Structure 1
Amino acid sequence: MKKYTRAIITFIVFIVFITFIIPVVNGQNLDGQNLSVFPAIQEKLVKPGERTRIQIQFKNGADTALMGKLKVVDFVVTDKQGTPKVVESKELKSKYGASSWITLPNDSIAIPPRDYVSVDMGVEVPYDVSTCSKYALVYVEPLSETVRVKADFKKPETATTVSTRLGGIVTFNIENSNCKENLNISGFTFPKFQEYGPIKVKFDVFNLSDYHIVPAGYANISNLFGLPTDQQNIKEQRIFPEAGKSYDVDLGSKWMIGRYKILVNVASNGLKSVSRQQVAYVWMFPWRVALAVILTIIVMIIIVKNLITKETDLEEELKKEKNEIEKLKSQLRKRE
């Protein structure tokens, strides 16, 4: 019996040991930039047939002068990270491209060391505008290979680059009352069963509008009784027309038991604010901890049972000894 008890206790200790795992977080380093642009993204409301002007500044953070080409191009967004892809060919016109509206003052630029240059550009909006928003990228392509910056179209507050090019996105919002605003939630993935929390929920938001949107929303989780246990707001990110963005949210705590309801609610957050929802259910149960508890209870029952059995055997032995003593006393009395 002792042999089996030790084996069970050893197994329980092993289960408890593999149950608790400490995660390791890796750090990242970010490189600095010598060339920057302001504003990285600018918006301007225009009317069909209007003539106006826009301005953009390029700053050289290096100790040497920078010479480069000044260009304006269209771009498209094809991935779920929101990375613009430059349309180089004039034959491949973008549906939302506005590069043909912008006239550059010249095709080259020179920026002194630790200084900036403002570029003033003319804009001519055609009368027959077919969309509600148009976009263009005004960028500098340095002639020196020593000036290199990292691409980062994902963050509106940072500069945007393509290879050795750096530029700012110009958005033209056209006055139009018939603009469509819509979105769709797709790629909704979640675990159907999980041992520990939090629960990782992933989904994509696709922009079906005639202009860019910055969706706002949240993801929450409620227990079997309908009581909310956690809620996380989604990160607000710009999504261009006919493009999408990927989101992931962690919901709940580590210890969760039962059936939980996941609700994702996203609104376009534009002029009409169209909203969409997705609902899912997931079961949570820490089976290894439960197994360790059950095995511990079994071992305790075995130990207690053994103690009770030993105590009963001891009482019987004492009773026998007492009877023997009484017999001896009786025999001694008879001899006397």
Structure 2
Amino acid sequence: MNTKPYRHLELAKRVERSHTTGVRFLHSLRSVGMTFIIFISLFFSQTVFVHAQSSITAIPPRLILSTDPGKTLTAELKVRNDSDVSQIYTVTVDDFIVIDSIGTPIPVSSSVNSRWSLKNWITAPKTIPVDAKGTQIVRITVRVPVSALAGGHYAMITYMPNGDIKPGELKKTASLIGQRVGSLIYVTVSGDITENASIIKFTTPKFLEQGPVEFTGTIENISDIHINPKGSITISNPLNSKVAELPLEAGNIFPETIRDFSSTWNNKWGWGRYKADLNLAYGTTGALLSATIFFWLFPIRLVIYSLIAIISVLLVVVLLGKRSKKHQEVLEKEVAELKRELETLEEKK
């Protein structure tokens, strides 16, 4: 009995089933893909909406006050609602700490070193309403204790939208996932204030073939108050002549913290050993921070390639000269032989 037709029929059925399964899989994959795209679109549209509904601006970003022990100060801050709906902001007063080397303030609710604390001296409203696209004044009172230590004291006043929403309604209000912004408050209490700082790092690459030249460093503040060192980096060439002066402002450095700084000399080519002098003034008395480093700016590869090219050209010239001289000698020898032959022929005649 011939079984080949049955085998062919069975094979055709298997192919058809495989094709059907593949088509179903592709349709399922397309459905999953469309669902994923719709989900991502909704997620990002919701994220943009949340951001738009939570836009806040604190004015000013920093408030600096000075006073004496036992005095009371009043000050005004402002907060602007940049969203399209009215908001009620929760106002929070916290101390803050700086734990990185770029001066980022982080609010802390727990107790911090009372030497720098300011939170308990400030009285501010708990909540404030702000109209859409409107600005609201925030009045604060700072009561300085008679026993307050001289120097800097620091706090942060922050604003969070929807201050009237109850905890049970948190999940119902997407706009609560908003930004928290605020103003830094610096209060300097008069008295015997120590101002001291040091440069713990000032560096640049020791050797560069070409610019720009990047300078980086770190300053440590061991004062009783924040400082803001300002000055410049002066660059001198191998002949000790000034070739550039780079303005530099390190930014506010809080007590018992460090802060990094950087500057760039946008010069491409140099020829030799250069000197960089860092000079920064800080504090009420204009104390000076200084440091000096040396670095090489020399296009060594360019010089090597140029020397190789010059040597190659000279070798070619020398070789061509030798070849030309040898060729000249050969020609002169041939001419001499021809002369001798001519003389021989003439003698035979």
Is TM > 0.5 for Structure 1 vs Structure 2?
yes
Give the match's secondary structure for 2:347: helix
Give the match's secondary structure for 1:234: strand
Partner amino acid for 2:285?
K
Structure 1 residue 169 and structure 2 residue 188: aligned?
no
CA apart distance, 1:95:
2.4
For 2:73 and 2:279, locate their aligned partners in 1 and report how far apart those are by CA, in whole Å: 39
Partner amino acid for 1:73?
D
Corresponding position of 2:219? 205
Percent identical among aligned pairs is 27
Ranges in structure 1 where 5+ consecutive residues have no aligned partner: 1-30, 150-163
Structure 1 residue 334 and structure 2 residue 347: aligned?
yes
1:182 equivalent among 178, 185, 196: 196
CA apart distance, 1:165:
1.4
For 1:52 and 1:212, locate their aligned partners in 2 and report how far apart those are by CA, in whole Å: 20
CA apart distance, 1:40:
1.3
For 2:250 and 2:296, locate their aligned partners in 1 and report how far apart those are by CA, in whole Å: 29
Q: Is the 8 A contact 2:95 2:112 kept in 1?
A: no
5 Å matches for 1:1-336? 34-89=55-110, 91-105=111-125, 107-143=126-162, 145-146=174-175, 164-176=179-191, 178-251=192-265, 253-268=267-282, 270-336=283-349
For 2:214 and 2:206, locate their aligned partners in 1 and report how far apart those are by CA, in whole Å: 11
CA apart distance, 1:245:
1.7
Partner amino acid for 1:104?
A
Further displaced range: 76-85 or 254-263: 254-263
Give the match's secondary structure for 1:172: strand
For 1:305 and 1:148, locate their aligned partners in 2 and report how far apart those are by CA, in whole Å: 80
Partner amino acid for 1:168?
S
Deviations 1:174-227 (A, max 9, x none): 222x11111110122222222222332210112222111211111122122211
Q: Is the 8 A contact 2:149 2:189 kept in 1?
A: no
Give the match's secondary structure for 1:126: coil
Q: Is the 8 A contact 1:34 1:148 kept in 2?
A: no
Corresponding position of 1:24? none
TM score, norm. by length of structure 1 = 0.80
For 2:212 and 2:86, locate their aligned partners in 1 and report how far apart those are by CA, in whole Å: 51
Partner amino acid for 1:71?
T
For 1:93 and 1:193, locate their aligned partners in 2 and report how far apart those are by CA, in whole Å: 44
For 2:72 and 2:336, locate their aligned partners in 1 and report how far apart those are by CA, in whole Å: 120
Q: How many residues align?
A: 288
Q: Which has the larger share of helix?
A: 2
Q: Is the 8 A contact 1:87 1:93 kept in 2?
A: no
RMSD of Structure 2 on Structure 1 (CA): 2.1
CA apart distance, 1:62:
0.8
- Runs (4 or more) in structure 1 with deviation over 6 Å come to none
Give the match's secondary structure for 1:320: helix
Ranges in structure 2 where 5+ consecutive residues have no aligned partner: 1-50, 163-172
Deviations 1:88-145 (A, max 9, x none): 11x445421211111123x122211111111112221110111312121111112364
TM score, norm. by length of structure 2 = 0.77
Partner amino acid for 1:40?
P
Partner amino acid for 2:184?
I
CA change 1:97–1:145 in 2 (3 A) is farther
For 1:114 and 1:241, locate their aligned partners in 2 and report how far apart those are by CA, in whole Å: 38
Deviations 1:33-79 (A, max 9, x none): 82101111111222211122111111001111222311111111121
For 1:66 and 1:314, locate their aligned partners in 2 and report how far apart those are by CA, in whole Å: 98
Give the match's secondary structure for 1:146: helix
For 2:337 and 2:177, locate their aligned partners in 1 and report how far apart those are by CA, in whole Å: 102
Greater relative contact order (CA < 8 Å, ≥ 6 in sequence): 1
For 1:259 and 1:289, locate their aligned partners in 2 and report how far apart those are by CA, in whole Å: 17
Partner amino acid for 1:76?
I
Further displaced range: 35-44 or 198-207: 198-207
Give the match's secondary structure for 2:249: coil
Corresponding position of 1:22? none
